[in-house]
Chains A and B, each alone.
Chain A
């Protein structure tokens, strides 16, 4: 039996397993609260006063942000020692940060659920909720997050400095500086709502559409070397190309959030132009992944991980790229901004770009933890990971299409015809096409949840009964990190 044995792992990898475990639990919490929030559209009386939509949505999205971050942290700790050739520097501190962060996340969620709101003063902002979408965490938690980020950065930067730097680790380290630094932009109060929203987008956009994308680029680069045996020079060069395209378009692409918040009109042109370029690196990723898979005849060491990586390139392109591009020009965005179009884009983009990078890293971790066992063709119970991936993909695409139809109804009925009044808003919300779309969204959400349950089951049992060693990649492709 290939039970999970942490003695096979290095220090960073043991810590990574802790992060991955909490990540998957929070993934489940995200889905639970997402389902309740979706049901509240259909049954507005459901938990109306006890746990109103605002709270279910906060927990749904905050759980997602936190579990994805946990997944990224886990992925980086997983590859840190192998990539640097050096044991993690300050690992004890890293472990302490994990426990502090996890307890803090638990406290924040309990406060969200049980206390929910407070009086309109600074006490509430510091201890209950900051009330700013996505970063509702109260200020005390913000400070904790920054401290834990600094510890994480110290672990990563010090380990690479002691060991060796590579292209991947260089990009990764610089990206983490930006990741931690940008969070500070969301940590102050201003009464000017336009300035509030300006800086808020530095956290939201420059995380999700810039630093997160670069971070997953680093993880994907390492992952492709690991499972496909792609040459380091190729992935590193592509990583640089991606940084050029991603940050070259994404930094000023930030402007597509500045169309309607009280900023000067020039953002309509700058934001529209640069955000329209944002899909280019994602197209490049798809082109190269298809080319690379063919070049290697799809031969890889970990079939589930590789399949999820493929899902990532496709999901990132369609979810973040195409679905974002659809509504990024101001002429269209005027009618779609703040409607279910955005929810459609959000669902397919976050699954396509980010869930699909954390899950394969968990599969890579499980393969090693279970004794570097075979995870290729003929793997017992392979139907589980295939159906888990398939159901999640189907659920995501289905939800995105339903929300898009609902969004169209809003753009047409509420904005174009109704003139965006409150009456027009509710008129659109009660249109048959809108309500039917919301019912179907729940059906696809249920399919997604089945995919999650299968995934959770698969993560527990995959490779457990396997005795064959992992497939070895041809030696010429296995390349050491340059000293």
Chain B
């Protein structure tokens, strides 16, 4: 008689039980993760967060930087209801998908590596300087102007192509980026500090 660990029948049963067991654990964790990452449940902000100022500060308890929602700062100067904000963010996300943004950029670190990560793009110090270049007076206006006509504002040899993004789509993408920047990403991307230049 072969020892247990050499028996085909033992490993067949083990394959079934291990696979089923792991699948059950994954399902249980999925239920929990879905609940904890639902919109407005803490880790992922409500859409109306685009009406507010978003900051990114170091949390000593968690030893990482986390989004901090501060005072009023309506996007493009207009306060939206939760439903209006959701519609705008959704339009932005559909635009991001329709222009294949993820095949040059990364979102939450996933995508291609040909262009910068967009996870905290809204908070990036880049948009301070871009206000001068685009002759605009706000972060959102600079972002929208750039998205509409990226070839008008080249800052690098590797530049963004014209993607026929309309004015409305550009504003929606900005809303999506602002909302995404308030997601708690466990400290990703590494060492990102929107206040680095101030220091």
Contacts and interface: CB of A to CB of B under 8 A. Distances in A.
Contact of B191 (A263, A337, A415): A415
A264 B191 contact: no
Interface in B32-87: 32-34, 36-39, 43-44, 47, 62, 86
A117 B169 CA distance: 13
A131 B110 contact: no
Interface string B155-188: 1111101111010010011000000100111111
Contact of A262 (B22, B103, B158, B183): B183
Given A261-B185, A415-B191, A120 B169 contact: yes
Contacts of A52: 104, 161
Given A122-B94, A133-B103, A421-B192, 15 more contacts: A52-B104, A132-B102, A191-B90, A198-B34, A243-B15, A244-B15, A247-B15, A252-B29, A260-B185, A338-B189, A419-B193, A419-B196, A420-B189, A420-B191, A426-B116
Given A251-B26, A262-B183, A244 B33 contact: no
Contact of A338 (B30, B113, B159): B113
A420 B190 contact: yes
Contacts of B104: 52-54, 57
Interface SS of chain A: helix, strand, loop or mixed? helix
Contacts of B136: none
A383 to B, nearest CB: 37
B24 to A, nearest CB: 10
Contacts of B133: none
A248 B11 CA distance: 13
Interface stretch (A234-242, A347-355, A357-365, A452-460): A234-242
A131 B196 contact: no
Contacts of A263: 33, 36-37, 43
Interface string A210-242: 000000000000000000000001001100110
Interface of B: 6-8, 11-12, 14-15, 18-19, 22-23, 25-26, 29-30, 32-34, 36-39, 43-44, 47, 62, 86, 89-104, 106-117, 119-121, 124-126, 155-159, 161-164, 166, 169, 172-173, 180, 183-193, 196
Chain A interface bracket (under 10, 10 to 19, 20 to 34, 35 or more): 35 or more
Contacts of A342: 113
B106 A121 contact: no
A136 B98 contact: no
Contacts of A243: 15, 18-19
22 contacts: A53-B112, A117-B98, A117-B164, A118-B98, A124-B97, A128-B98, A132-B97, A133-B102, A193-B180, A198-B34, A237-B11, A240-B11, A240-B12, A244-B14, A251-B25, A255-B29, A260-B108, A262-B184, A420-B190, A422-B121, A423-B126, A426-B158
B198 to A, nearest CB: 13
Given A44-B158, A262-B185, A423-B125, A415 B190 contact: yes
A131 B101 contact: yes
A344 B191 CA distance: 23
A425 interface: yes
Given A260-B188, A422-B124, A57 B114 contact: yes
Contacts of A307: none
A416 to B, nearest CB: 7
A125 interface: yes
Q: Report which residue of B12, B104, B113, B191 has the largest number of chain A beta carbons within 10 angstroms of its beta carbon.
A: B113
Contact of A252 (B25, B103, B158, B189): B25
B22 A248 contact: yes
A76 B133 CA distance: 58
Contact of B98 (A125, A133, A334): A125
Given A117-B163, A237-B11, A420 B91 contact: no
Interface of A: 40-41, 44, 48-49, 52-55, 57-58, 116-122, 124-125, 128-133, 136, 167, 171, 189, 191-198, 200, 233, 236-237, 240-241, 243-244, 247-248, 251-252, 254-255, 257-268, 270, 334-335, 337-340, 342-343, 410, 415-416, 418-423, 425-426, 429
Contact of B8 (A48, A53, A125, A237): A237
A136 B189 CA distance: 25
Contacts of A194: 37, 43-44, 108, 183
Nearest to A48: B161
B124 A421 contact: yes
Contacts of A48: 159, 161
A261 B108 CA distance: 5
Given A44-B159, A58-B100, A122-B94, A264 B190 contact: no
Top-7 shortest CB links A-B: A120-B95, A131-B97, A260-B188, A240-B11, A420-B189, A54-B103, A338-B109
Contacts of B97: 120, 124-125, 129-132
